[in-house]
Structure 1
Amino acid sequence: MNSIDSVTLEVADAAAAARFCSAAFGLDPARVRVRAGDSPTTGFRGFTLSLVVSQPGNVDALFATALDAGATVLRPASKSLWGYGGVVQAPDGTIWQIATSAKKDTAPVTRDVDELVLLLGVEDVKATKQFYVERGLTVGKSFGGKYVEFAAAPGTVKLSLYKRRALAKVAGVPADGTGSHRLVLSGATDPFTDPDGFVWEAAAPLTVTR
């Protein structure tokens, strides 16, 4: 295993969630999949999905279409030391960060997404990093026990690890939560569950939900 082929969101209404992902972000359904699931969960589910774009105007464009599609704002888009971005929550409960490292627009505004990043909130970043390294992932960036980013092939989902409470703070929600993550990761691997309860399955053919 050297990358995430796709992530699957387990939601109450798969058809509605699929429509949201398409209308809000125009995402490739092969990368972000949805399926019906009713596993109990409360509060923060322990992860966010991030859309990395090339400029602030693209952040605003995706924010606008997300809100039009039914999302709510957790953190309004704003400037920061690292760039520009904000956070929304989809009707199904998934938290989406939309961000860029650029400080100003340099091209016509689009809704193009440069990278899709899955951030897992974990209890022990170093231990979970080692867990994934032993399963074939390659570390791209690492900042001690605070943050890890794994290398990802083009067209795949980039995996990053962050302290759970720090990730909740970035997302603008309380860190408390119990039950299912409502997230399944897929790749060229045998099924397993990581130290923080995130489930992996072998990659399967795409079934489009309408």
Structure 2
Amino acid sequence: MNSIDAVTLEVADLAAATRFYSAVLGPDSPHLRLRTSSHATSGFRGFTLSLVVSQPGNVDALVAAALDAGATPLKAASKSLWGYGGVVQAPDGTIVKIATSTKKDSGPVTPAFDEIVLLLGVEDVKATKQFYAERGLVVGRGFGGKYVEFASDPGHVKLALYKRRALAKDAGVPAEGTGSHRLVLSGTAGPCADLDGFVWEAGVSAPVTAAG
């Protein structure tokens, strides 16, 4: 069922990016690959990585770890109607949201996360949903033309679609952006480029690790 075998971030400074993601996701993360790229990009790159955690204390611990590793704060961690979370920007420019649906701690605080969700900001959620459904992805849940989440196997990155402007607003940045997404996906849908220019390569069978 898993649709994403690998998420590859294209970065200008591979050493700095490796240090950051090792500090936040852990060394040899099975969720992420890094590779050097000089593709031009500016402004919002059209996606965010969300780290879903079990309690507010874990949000604070992960935000602190990210800031210590060189991230820039975009939204301070705070309570909301849906839970508790904050947003940072990694040194390579990737926006990372750290959040939980709970509002009280129920166990020891650790810098641990339970799930990674890749949210693609798209212009037409329904059309992009159909694009991916035709390429074998299975919809897990959705809310009309606003949000779609695809099913995934436990322990893998989950793919979701959100309106681009809504995603930028949630991240605390302007929606405008040009150039490369600096994001390449490997998995069920590939090889292809979707309606918003997100590129997929053919799926891989080997475990995914953060590479230096």
Matching of residue 62 in structure 1 with residue 62 in structure 2: yes
Contact 1:8 / 1:185 at 8 angstroms: preserved in 2?
yes
Contact 1:15 / 1:209 at 8 angstroms: preserved in 2?
no
Residues 147-203 of structure 1 show CA distances to partners (whole Å, capped at 9, x for unaligned) of 001111012110000000000000000000011000000114541100000000123
Task: Summarize the Cα distance change of 1:208–1:102 in structure 2 as closer, same or farther, 3 Å threshold.
Answer: closer
Q: Find the counterpart in structure 2 of residue 172 from structure 1.
A: 172
Gap regions ≥5 residues in structure 1 = none
* Matched position secondary structure for 1:156: coil
Matching of residue 82 in structure 1 with residue 77 in structure 2: no
Matched residues in 1 for 2:61 and 2:210: separation?
A: 26
Residues 118-153 of structure 1 show CA distances to partners (whole Å, capped at 9, x for unaligned) of 000000000000111111111111100000011110
Residues 90-134 of structure 1 show CA distances to partners (whole Å, capped at 9, x for unaligned) of 011000000000110000011221110000000000000011111
* Matched position secondary structure for 1:16: helix
Alignment TM-score, normalising by the size of structure 2? 0.94
Q: CA RMSD in A?
A: 1.5
Contact 1:141 / 1:150 at 8 angstroms: preserved in 2?
yes
Gap regions ≥5 residues in structure 2 = none
Q: Find the counterpart in structure 1 of residue 22 from structure 2.
A: 22
Task: Provide the aligned length of Structure 1 versus Structure 2.
Answer: 210
Matches within 5 A, 1:100-179: 100-179=100-179
Name which of structure 1's ranges 17-26 and 124-133 shifts more when overlaid on structure 2: 17-26
Residues 22-43 of structure 1 show CA distances to partners (whole Å, capped at 9, x for unaligned) of 1123265331111000111110
Q: Percent identity?
A: 74
Alignment TM-score, normalising by the size of structure 1? 0.95
Runs of at least 4 residues off by over 4 Å: 204-208
